[in-house]
């Protein structure tokens, strides 16, 4: 029987990752009586073949893949290999992909001068250049930000996400619930849900006794939210719009950005717009947004999931330091009442109110 260390070393060298579990290690130990036999078997696996199928014809490309895999550094030169290797292992969030991504980061070639005014056009242009370096396309949120899905399944589901595990759904519900709790809103208050997406936040706020208008750039999300609201009987209505275009001229008691503001190229512009659509003292709620220290102020996120979404789908994935988003909110006419990190991933919640 081969040693446990031999199995782990083989996985690291040939596949660039650790074995999936102790059961996998034990199975290899039981099946192979020599290290050579084990490594030969592993080299015939679909994962190894995918990673190395072009090595014979392109030695330089193979060397780059090996280098970034072991250095845990994603670069423009190995970006497509990173996407292909990720897809071969499974969807984002799967244990295999999470293990593969562990410790990875993207290092941009585009230079960003962090001494520039973070609200200025020159700094914005440099961050857009980082986006283009990764996405290899221009920003077009009216097409790149759209999501296709089986409408009937999500209409009939117990929640709009439908296929997400209960633990994931609970994480979303918990975040939005805490934002509602901290906001101090009253029964019947009218909330604008900016970038409402699937509509889970809409339904939860309606369940709490609020009137909700959801807004999304994707007309299919709008259809989903409205159809589910009609089926369930919630006081929810969705409209198609964007961060730069809020239909109508009515005023709201509160606005929520849940996992959406980071798609705004210039968040201070959409925050200024919603400030004009809030009643005096109206509440701003931010939840599930990426607060981090990747950049001094703000910029394109360089974690593996963000890089995957930018490159594969063209989504604009930015993030901000806690200091910057606080300044941004205050710049747009709000006073911050609550801003703290919550349990769970990207768990920051901010509650601010309109200052007249």
- The model's pLDDT over 133-189, given as tens digits with 9 standing for 90+, comes to 999 999 887 777 777 788 999 999 999 998 888 988 999 999 999 999 999 999 999
Helix ranges (H only) for 254-343 are 267-276, 304-313, 322-331
Kindly state the percentage of the chain with pLDDT values over 90: 69
Residue 38 CA to residue 42 CA, distance in Å, equals 6
With 80 as the cut, is the pLDDT of residue 216 above it?
Answer: yes
Comparison of pLDDT for 87 and 146, the residue scoring more: 87
Q: What is the pLDDT of residue 114?
A: 95
Three-state DSSP state, 261: helix
Q: What is the pLDDT of residue 61?
A: 39
- Under DSSP, the state recorded for 291 is B
With 50 as the cut, is the pLDDT of residue 60 above it?
Answer: no
Q: What is the pLDDT of residue 63?
A: 44
111 CB burial (10 A radius; 0-12, 13-18, 19+): exposed
- Supply the angle between the helices 304-313 and 121-135 in degrees, to the nearest 10: 80
With 70 as the cut, is the pLDDT of residue 2 above it?
Answer: yes
Which pLDDT band holds residue 38 (cuts at 50, 70, 90)?
confident
Three-state DSSP state, 6: helix
Domains and CATH numbers, the chain: 141-354 (3.40.50.150)
Q: What is the pLDDT of residue 54?
A: 43
Segment among 18-22, 191-195, 264-268 with least mean pLDDT: 18-22
With 70 as the cut, is the pLDDT of residue 92 above it?
Answer: yes
Its pTM stands at 0.79
The pLDDT tens digits for 20-33 are: 666 566 667 666 77
Three-state DSSP state, 107: coil
Burial pattern 134-160, b for ≥16 Cβ within 10 A else e, equals bbeeeeebeebbeeeeeeeebeeeebb
User: CA-based Rg of the chain, rounded to a whole angstrom?
Assistant: 23
Q: What is the pLDDT of residue 29?
A: 65
Segment among 43-47, 60-64, 220-224, 300-304 with least mean pLDDT: 60-64
With 80 as the cut, is the pLDDT of residue 84 above it?
Answer: yes
Q: What is the pLDDT of residue 70?
A: 52
């Amino acid at each position: 029987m081969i040693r446990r260390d031999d199995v782990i070393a083989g996985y690291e060298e040939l596949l660039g990752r650790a074995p999936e579990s102790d059961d996998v290690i034990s199975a290899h130990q039981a099946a192979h009586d020599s290290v050579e036999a084990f490594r030969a078997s592993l080299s015939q696996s679909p994962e190894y073949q995918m990673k190395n199928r072009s090595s014979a014809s392109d030695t330089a490309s193979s060397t780059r893949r090996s280098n970034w895999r072991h250095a845990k550094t994603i670069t423009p030169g190995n970006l497509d290999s990173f996407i292909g290797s990720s897809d071969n292992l499974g969807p984002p969030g799967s244990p295999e992909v999470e293990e593969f991504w562990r410790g990875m980061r993207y290092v941009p070639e585009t230079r960003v001068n962090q001494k520039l005014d973070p609200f200025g056009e020159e700094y914005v242009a440099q961050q857009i250049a980082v986006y283009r370096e990764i996405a290899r396309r221009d920003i077009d949120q009216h097409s790149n930000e759209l999501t296709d899905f089986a409408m009937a399944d999500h209409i009939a589901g117990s929640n709009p996400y439908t296929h997400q595990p209960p633990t994931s759904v609970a994480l979303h519900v918990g975040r939005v619930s805490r934002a509602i709790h901290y906001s101090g809103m009253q029964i019947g208050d009218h909330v604008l849900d900016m970038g409402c997406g699937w509509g889970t936040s809409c339904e939860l706020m309606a369940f709490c006794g609020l009137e909700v208008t959801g807004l999304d750039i994707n007309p299919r999300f709008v259809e989903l939210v409205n159809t589910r609201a009609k089926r369930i009987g919630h006081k929810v209505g969705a409209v198609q719009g964007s961060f730069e275009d809020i239909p109508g001229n009515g005023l709201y008691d509160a606005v929520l950005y849940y996992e959406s503001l980071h798609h705004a190229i210039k968040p201070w512009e959409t925050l200024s717009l919603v400030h004009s659509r809030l009643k005096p003292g109206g509440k701003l709620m931010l939840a599930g947004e990426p607060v981090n220290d990747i950049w001094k102020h703000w910029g394109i996120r360089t974690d593996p999931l963000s890089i995957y979404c930018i490159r594969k789908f063209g989504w604009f994935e930015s993030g901000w330091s806690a200091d910057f988003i606080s300044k941004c909110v205050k710049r747009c006419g709000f006073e911050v009442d609550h801003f703290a990190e919550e349990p769970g991933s990207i768990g920051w919640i901010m509650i601010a109110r309109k200052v007249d």
